[in-house]
Amino acid sequence: MIIDHIKHISFYEPMAAGITEAWNAIQAMLQEKGELPDGRYELKKGFFKVQRGETKPLSEGTFESHQKYIDVQILLEGQEEMAWMELDNLTEAIPYDEEKDAARWNGECTHHMLITKDMFYIAYPHDGHKAVSHVDEKNTFIKIILKLPV
């Protein structure tokens, strides 16, 4: 798991091939259109989704993991708490679904961090992550979920 400020995203190119090109393409779309509606957008390498919503309590829901794509989540507005746990420390709740590229996991939210505007995180296949959460108060957010092939 990597967590950082968006101004450093290109630094991670060796660990997330295509991240710089993808972020540049996303920025160009945002500059051209001002705001992108929720939905899926194709890129040369991978794709991204725009997602808006409200957080849910950290105690609810499950962790997720992916095998085909590296998950890069970029907060454009608002904030969320994100929990992380290595898969070895989680219990499978829903087996891997190849079509959705996702498995669901149960476990303790031992490690969590507040992610705010202009921050991003990268989840690799061994990273169980629980996004879109809050500890104390519900928050709203707008984010990019970038999927880059492993």
Domain ranges of the chain: 2-149
Instruction: Specify the pLDDT at position 149.
Output: 97
Closest CA to 44 of 20, 14, 18, 64: 18
pTM of the model: 0.94
Q: Which residues contact 78 (CB under 8 A, 6 or more apart)?
A: 116, 117, 139, 140, 141, 142, 143
Instruction: Specify the pLDDT at position 16.
Output: 96
Of 2.60.120.370, 3.30.365.10, 3.40.50.620, 2.70.98.90, the CATH number of 2-149 is: 2.60.120.370
Partnered with residue 46 across adjacent β-strands are none
Among the listed ranges 34-43, 100-109, 116-125, which one has the minimum average pLDDT value? 34-43
Instruction: Quote the percentage of the chain above a pLDDT of 70.
Output: 100
Instruction: Specify the pLDDT at position 69.
Output: 97
Indicate if the pLDDT at residue 35 is higher than 90. no
Indicate if the pLDDT at residue 127 is higher than 90. yes
